[in-house]
A and B are shown apart, each in its own frame.
Chain A
Amino acid sequence: AQSVTQPDIHITVSEGASLELRCNYSYGATPYLFWYVQSPGQGLQLLLKYFSGDTLVQGIKGFEAEFKRSQSSFNLRKPSVHWSDAAEYFCAVASSNTGKLIFGQGTTLQVKP
């Protein structure tokens, strides 16, 4: 069965430090992968997505993610975190049959001044 695991429930980084959020997926074929961000009290906003081609994907707000098939991972990175990046981040995989999204549990990012 398809699944997504985000091993880190909560991460705290200092403003200006680099960030990496982990995402591991279980999927039989080529996965279609997404990262969404949810600011407090808001809906989800797409940061980036991968479905083919270059394994390093650029997104909005300075985020990028790298697809590594050998590790079944799609980790999200940002070189320098801003206080406004504090939010909850969700990794998701799309079912090839239906296009439905399967979400990970989410990682809450706290940014220290």
Chain B
Amino acid sequence: NAGVTQTPKFRVLKTGQSMTLLCAQDMNHEYMYWYRQDPGMGLRLIHYSVGEGTTAKGEVPDGYNVSRLKKQNFLLGLESAAPSQTSVYFCASSYSSGTSETQYFGPGTRLLVL
């Protein structure tokens, strides 16, 4: 049982390049989330999904797109990377959206945009 995994662990992009971050979970969770973590700002929600085939915007969605074609996977895409997107990206999943539900986090992806 691997929990939540993220690929890649680290990536360097040039401004304007595109990339996709992959999140996978093997806990049969319905809900999945993408956050970004920046110094002094905690974690901020980018997009989330309440089930296969559904996605919704979070707090800071601009410049990102997501897809949830399979229940176990949640992809985060950057179509044209900008230096402001340099950050650490975390994926999380939970069984439901209940307010007492625990979110389980992946190890993170460090992205540097030059």
Residues of A whose CB lies within 8 Å of any CB of B are 4, 9, 32, 34, 36, 41-46, 49, 51, 90, 94-96, 98-101, 103-106
Residues of B whose CB lies within 8 Å of any CB of A are 4, 31, 33, 40-45, 48, 58, 90, 92, 94, 96-108
A42-B107, A43-B105, A43-B106 known; A99+B99 contact, CB < 8 A: yes
**Total contacts A-B at CB 8 Å:** 60
CB–CB B99/A94 < 8 A: yes
When distances are taken between beta carbons in the complex, the residues of chain A under 8 Å from B100 are 32, 49, 51, 94
When distances are taken between beta carbons in the complex, the residues of chain A under 8 Å from B107 are 41-43
- In the assembled complex, the CB of A54 is this many whole angstroms from the nearest CB of chain B, namely 14
Given contacts A34-B102, A100-B45, 6 further A-B contacts (CB under 8 A): A42-B108, A44-B105, A94-B100, A103-B42, A103-B44, A104-B42
- In the assembled complex, the CB of A4 is this many whole angstroms from the nearest CB of chain B, namely 8
CB–CB A49/B102 < 8 A: yes
